[in-house]
C-alpha cells in the first residue's frame, strides 16, 4: 500500500492556504497586497507561454494518429452542436435570473454621473467583435505568429492542418508524429514544474485583488456579485449536473477530481492557467487525445458558459439600475447578438467586459458609460466566469468522448472517486 503524502505537499491545500493568506495580507496590508501583483502576473505568464506548444502537440498527434480522418469532422460537428445548445441555455438562464431577482432594482443611478472616458478602451475593442473579424482572425499572418501571440484558436487551426498533412505522409509521417509526441512530453514536464508555483501565483493575485479594491465601496453591487455566483452555481449543479448524470458520471465527483485546477483558476482569475493540466486529466479519465485536443481548447472560444451568463445578467442589471425598461423584443435582440458575440471574442484582452460592451451597443437605450459601474467588480466576476467556463468545457469533452464510445464509464467513475489509479495519458503508448 503506497504511503500517504504529507498534507502540506498536496497542491490544492497549498493553493487554498495561499488564497487565505493572500486575503489576509490584502485586507490588513493593502499597499503590500498591491505590490504583490507581479507574483500573480508572473505565474499566469509562465503558464500562458506553454499553452500554444502543448495544444499544438496534442492536436497534431491526435489527428495524425487517427486511422479514420472522418472522425475529426464528426467530433467537430458533435462538439459545435453541444456548444451551441448549452451556451444558448446559459444566456437564457442569465436573462431569467435577472428578471426574477432584479439585482439592479432600487439603485436609481443617473448615467450622466459616469465618465465615458473610463470605458472608452473597452468600447474600442468591442468594435472589433463580430463574425467577419473573428473569421479573419483565425488565420495567423505567419505560422510563427500564432505561437508568438499565444492565440489558442489560431494554434488550433494550424495544428489541424499539420495533423492532416502528417497523416498523409505515410511512414515518414509516423516518425514526425513520434517526434511531436516526445516534444509534447517535454512541454508537459515543464508544465508540471511550473504548476508547483501555483500557490505563489494565487497568493500574489488574491492579495492584489483584495488590496486594490475597497470591499466597502462594493457593497451596492454585492447583490449583483452574489446573484452571478449563485446563478453560475445553479447552472453547474443543475444543468451541467443533469448532462453529467445522463452521460454516466457525477458532477460533484468531477468537481472533486479537478479541485486543484479550480483553485488555481480561483486564485489567478484565468481559465488559461489550467488548460494543459485539464487536458491531461481528461485524457486520464479515458477520453482520447484527439477528442480532448479538439474539444477542450475549442470550447475556450465556443463554449464560454460563465461568460454567457454574465453577459445577459449584466445587461439587464444595468437596465434595472438606471430604471430603463427593456421590451421583450429588445431582450430577444440581446440574446441573439450575445449568441454571436460570445463566439467572436477569443483572444481579446478582458474578454468578458469587451463582449459586454459590444452587446450593449445593441440596446442604445442603455448608455455605454454605465459600464463604468461594473469596472470595480469585474475582477470578482471574472473569477466566476473562468471557473464556470473550465467546468463547462470539461463536461463537454467527456460528453463528446462518450458519444464517440471511448469512455468506460465504470472505470471513469472509479478514477474520479480515486478508487482506481489513473492510467498514464494516451501519448505514452503512442510515443513509447
How far is residue 118's CA from residue 122's CA, in Å, rounded to a whole number? 9
Are 293 and 58 contacting, i.e. CB atoms less than 8 angstroms apart?
A: yes
Q: 341-392 pLDDT, tens per residue?
A: 666 554 344 556 667 776 776 777 777 777 777 766 777 788 888 899 999 9
How far is residue 258's CA from residue 381's CA, in Å, rounded to a whole number? 21
97, three cell numbers: 435570473
- pLDDT exceeds cutoff 50 at 26: yes
pTM of the model: 0.76
Domain range 8-420, its CATH number among 1.10.1060.10, 3.50.50.60, 1.10.3860.10, 1.10.10.1150: 1.10.3860.10
Q: 87-107 pLDDT, tens per residue?
A: 888 988 988 998 888 887 877
Residue 110 backbone zone (phi > 0: left; psi -120 to 50: alpha; other: beta) = beta
How far is residue 163's CA from residue 294's CA, in Å, rounded to a whole number? 11
Residues whose CB is less than 8 angstroms from the CB of residue 91 and which lie 6 or more positions away in sequence, other chains included: 308, 309, 311, 312, 335, 338, 339, 342
How far is residue 409's CA from residue 286's CA, in Å, rounded to a whole number? 9
Q: 200-253 pLDDT, tens per residue?
A: 888 888 888 778 765 554 555 778 888 899 999 999 999 999 999 999 999 999
Q: 31-79 pLDDT, tens per residue?
A: 898 898 888 888 878 877 877 887 788 778 777 766 566 777 788 889 8
Domain ranges of the chain: 8-420
Q: What is the pLDDT of residue 201?
A: 84
- pLDDT exceeds cutoff 80 at 315: yes
Angle of CA points 408, 409, 415, to nearest 5°? 95
Closest CA to 50 of 242, 172, 183: 183
- pLDDT exceeds cutoff 60 at 115: no
Amino acid at each position: 500500500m503506497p504511503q500517504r503524502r504529507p498534507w502540506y505537499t498536496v497542491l490544492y491545500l497549498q493553493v487554498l492556504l495561499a488564497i487565505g493568506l493572500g486575503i489576509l495580507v490584502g485586507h490588513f496590508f493593502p499597499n503590500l497586497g498591491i505590490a504583490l501583483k507581479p507574483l500573480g502576473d508572473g505565474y499566469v505568464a509562465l503558464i500562458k507561454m506553454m499553452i500554444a506548444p502543448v495544444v499544438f502537440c496534442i492536436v497534431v498527434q491526435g489527428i495524425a494518429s487517427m486511422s479514420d480522418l472522418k472522425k475529426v469532422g464528426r467530433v467537430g460537428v458533435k462538439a459545435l452542436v453541444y456548444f451551441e445548445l448549452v451556451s444558448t441555455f446559459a444566456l437564457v438562464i442569465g436573462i431569467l435570473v435577472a428578471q426574477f431577482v432584479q439585482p439592479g432594482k432600487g439603485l436609481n443611478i443617473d448615467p450622466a454621473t459616469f465618465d465615458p472616458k473610463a470605458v472608452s478602451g473597452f468600447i474600442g475593442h468591442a468594435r472589433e467583435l463580430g463574425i467577419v473579424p473573428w473569421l479573419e482572425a483565425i488565420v495567423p499572418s505567419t505560422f510563427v505568429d500564432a505561437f508568438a501571440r499565444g492565440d489558442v484558436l489560431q494554434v488550433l487551426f494550424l495544428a489541424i492542418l499539420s495533423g492532416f498533412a502528417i497523416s498523409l505522409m505515410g511512414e515518414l509521417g509516423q516518425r514526425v508524429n513520434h517526434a511531436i509526441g516526445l516534444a509534447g512530453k517535454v512541454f508537459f514536464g515543464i508544465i508540471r514544474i511550473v504548476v508547483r508555483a501555483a500557490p505563489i501565483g494565487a497568493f500574489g493575485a488574491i492579495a492584489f485583488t483584495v488590496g486594490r479594491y475597497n470591499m466597502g465601496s462594493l457593497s451596492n453591487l454585492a447583490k449583483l456579485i452574489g446573484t452571478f455566483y449563485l446563478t453560475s452555481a445553479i447552472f453547474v449543479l443543475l444543468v451541467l449536473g443533469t448532462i453529467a448524470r445522463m452521460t454516466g458520471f457525477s458532477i460533484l465527483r468531477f468537481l472533486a477530481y479537478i479541485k486543484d485546477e479550480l483553485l488555481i483558476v480561483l486564485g489567478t482569475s484565468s481559465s488559461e492557467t489550467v488548460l494543459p493540466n485539464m487536458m491531461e486529466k481528461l485524457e486520464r479519465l479515458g477520453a482520447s487525445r484527439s477528442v480532448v485536443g479538439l474539444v477542450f481548447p475549442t470550447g475556450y472560444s465556443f463554449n464560454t458558459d460563465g461568460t454567457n451568463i454574465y453577459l445577459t445578467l449584466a445587461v439587464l442589471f444595468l437596465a434595472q439600475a438606471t430604471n430603463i425598461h427593456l421590451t421583450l423584443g429588445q431582450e430577444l435582440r440581446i440574446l441573439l447578438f450575445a449568441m454571436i458575440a460570445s463566439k467572436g471574442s477569443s483572444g481579446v484582452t478582458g474578454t468578458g467586459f469587451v463582449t459586454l460592451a459590444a452587446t450593449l451597443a445593441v440596446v442604445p437605450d442603455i448608455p455605454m458609460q454605465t459600464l463604468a459601474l461594473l469596472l470595480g467588480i469585474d475582477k470578482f466576476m471574472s473569477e466566476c466566469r473562468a471557473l464556470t467556463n473550465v467546468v463547462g468545457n470539461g463536461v463537454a469533452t467527456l460528453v463528446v468522448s462518450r458519444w464517440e464510445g471511448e469512455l468506460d464509464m465504470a472505470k471513469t467513475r472509479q478514477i474520479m472517486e480515486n478508487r482506481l489509479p489513473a492510467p498514464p495519458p494516451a501519448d505514452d503508448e503512442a510515443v513509447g
